[in-house]
Chains A and B, each alone.
Chain A
Amino acid sequence: MDTVSSTDLPAEAPRRRRIRRGFAHLGIVVFGLGTIGLLYTGFAPGHSSAASTNPAVEQGYQLYLHGCSSCHGLNGEGGTTAPSLIGVGAAAADFQVGTGRMPLQQHTTEAPRKHNRYTDAQTEQIAAYVASLGPGPAIPTDLNYQSADVAFGGALFRTNCAQCHNFAGSGGALTYGKYAPTLSDATPKQIYEAMITGPESMPVFGDQEITPAQKLAIIKYIREIKTSPNPGGAGLGRVGPVSETVVAWLVGIGGLVVVTMWIGSKA
């Protein structure tokens, strides 16, 4: 401030006058900022009063302020780079934070799965806060998929999931750099949450379309293909003939060519 005001003045002005005017400028700025701040705290919408009644929501709000609010706004209203969180529900927050996708490391076409920095309790607190913003899908509680029909789950998976996530759940490419991730790391709860919330490009599969029992069957199928052995030898990512052909041509036939040339060079 001082430097700015001093350059405005003629060089021959008395020094004391220059200092006094500098302080006056500083005072105006401080007063202005203070007024704006007071006005803001007066008019800005505070977060809902219901939040304070539930300690989990309150703790979640504190975590939210530190980790999420810079993009999603102080009250989950969203911003230019992030969607509104009002009405997305606890399941969406639990999925995004639980899989480490949120908070984002950087803005890319696809948020990659990474290590979750929060504890399970903290994740639930954030989810509780997001749930308090508006009604949305809750975190699924009944995840007893062991008795589900795996064959029917496989049929549902091939109709609804395999086109993007690959028939063995290995994931695949989408348009313009987006991709469907592999399902091998996803927990049953996360798979369930992804179906009911439709994170990023994924469509939403509501309970009227795929019933909870059918969702459990799909989860059972995904767990089954994850734990089933590879009887044919190395799985090679289970992405089908592409990786198998690459290995056969480069490693197999390439190796034969190298050995043949080596034998020939020794003749």
Chain B
Amino acid sequence: MTDESPLAGKPRRRIGRRRDAVESATTTVAVRDEHPLDLEAHAEDPRDRRFAELLVTALFALGIAATVFVLVCYFAVSIHDKLGKYSNETLGGGLAVALFAIGAGFILWAKSLLPHERAIQDRHDFHSTPAEEQEAEDTFIAGANDLGLGKYKMLRRTLLGALGLFPLPFVVMLRDLGPLPGRSLLETGWRAGVRLVDLDTKLPVKLGDLAIGGIQTVMPEGFGDVNDEALAPTMLIRFAPGEILSEKEVNWGVDDHVAYSKICTHAGCPISLYEQQSHHLLCPCHQSTFDMARDAKVIFGPAARPLPQLQIGVDSEGYFYAKGPYSEAVGPSFWERR
């Protein structure tokens, strides 16, 4: 930008103040050839222009070649061939080269070959003339009078009725946000007497299956789709004797085995990042950390409550079973439970 421009530094637009002498909206484009041009970018020498032309041509040719390369790669090389594993790289790389060459050609063309003239367009005021404003106002009032809403009583009432009723379907459709969850958030598949089975093998878990320091993901026996019973996954953890520090936790478990909900009480992520030495359980989503040796107490992170514990026992055949459902709601907070 050169400072000798007569328009430089002069604001052309005013905001918030109406001027009396308003000119009509016109656009003036002044071509000012007399100002020195930016000769650095603009090639004046015919030999330079010839060179620039060749360069742009070469870039466009590279664009053609790269596009053809992409097409050849797509059709000639099956992705099941040995070379096929490079398919993504060749296709993406070829397209990138083609697009870059075409774009670079455009920019070089504009910089080297197009005439560099400086055009200045004056800004103009955006509001209309008083006459035009008056005319618009008159038209509006005349139109409102012509409608005759004051005259046609029936028309007016039915129109109001129609417009008033129309939003109703949208309000009614909010019903589809439901149905209300009822007790489904409070209940899981766990009931008194149901056995603990492995999530993958669906085999019941026996006392002694788990090694000391072991953890197993279990479900209620006879569970169906895990996605339908997303609140049921439970961790069975075996401690070494004397490691559990809470009396309630000991009483609700069997022989150093305890069962806790696998669903984080913060946002419902499944958690079993269990550290057998520190007895920390980490939720990978927001780093809530539970101390499994102390009633799953929250020792770090955003979780609001400890994980619920499932009361378990061992039946006469040696299999673990639930002594009852979870005594509190499992998983994240909801409206009735914070």
Contact = CB atoms under 8 A, between A and B. Distances in A.
Interface stretch (B19-27, B163-171, B210-218): B210-218
A209 B211 contact: yes
Contact of A172 (B87, B272, B280, B284): B284
Contact of A174 (B200, B208, B282): B282
Count chain A CB atoms within 10 A of each CB in B205, B217, B237, B277 and give the residue with the most.
B277
Given A206-B211, A209-B211, A232-B88, A263 B107 contact: yes
B275 interface: yes
B272 A163 contact: yes
B187 to A, nearest CB: 23
Contact of B209 (A180, A208, A267): A208
Nearest to B299: A175
A82 interface: no
Interface string A127-163: 0000000000000000000000000100110011001
Interface in A147-202: 152, 155-156, 159-160, 163-164, 172, 174-176, 178, 180, 196, 198, 200-202
B300 interface: yes
A67 interface: no
A248 B318 CA distance: 55
A175 B209 contact: no
B282 A202 contact: no
A176 B270 CA distance: 20
Contacts of A200: 277
Q: Which of B85, B201, B208 has the most CB of A within 10 A?
A: B201
A257 to B, nearest CB: 15
Contacts of B275: 174-175, 178, 201
B230 interface: no
A205 B209 CA distance: 9
A46 interface: no
Most buried by A among B215, B273, B278: B273
Contacts, number: 85
How many interface residues does chain A have, given as a range? 20 to 34
A204 B272 CA distance: 13
Given A229-B85, A231-B88, A266-B41, A175 B280 contact: yes
B33 interface: no
A200 to B, nearest CB: 7
B282 A159 contact: no
Nearest to B89: A233
Interface in A222-242: 229, 231-233
Q: Which of A152, A175, A267 is packed against the most chain B CB atoms within 10 Å?
A: A175
A103 B277 CA distance: 19
B273 A174 contact: yes
Interface in B291-323: 300
Contact of A159 (B88, B199, B212): B199
Nearest to A180: B273
B78 to A, nearest CB: 13
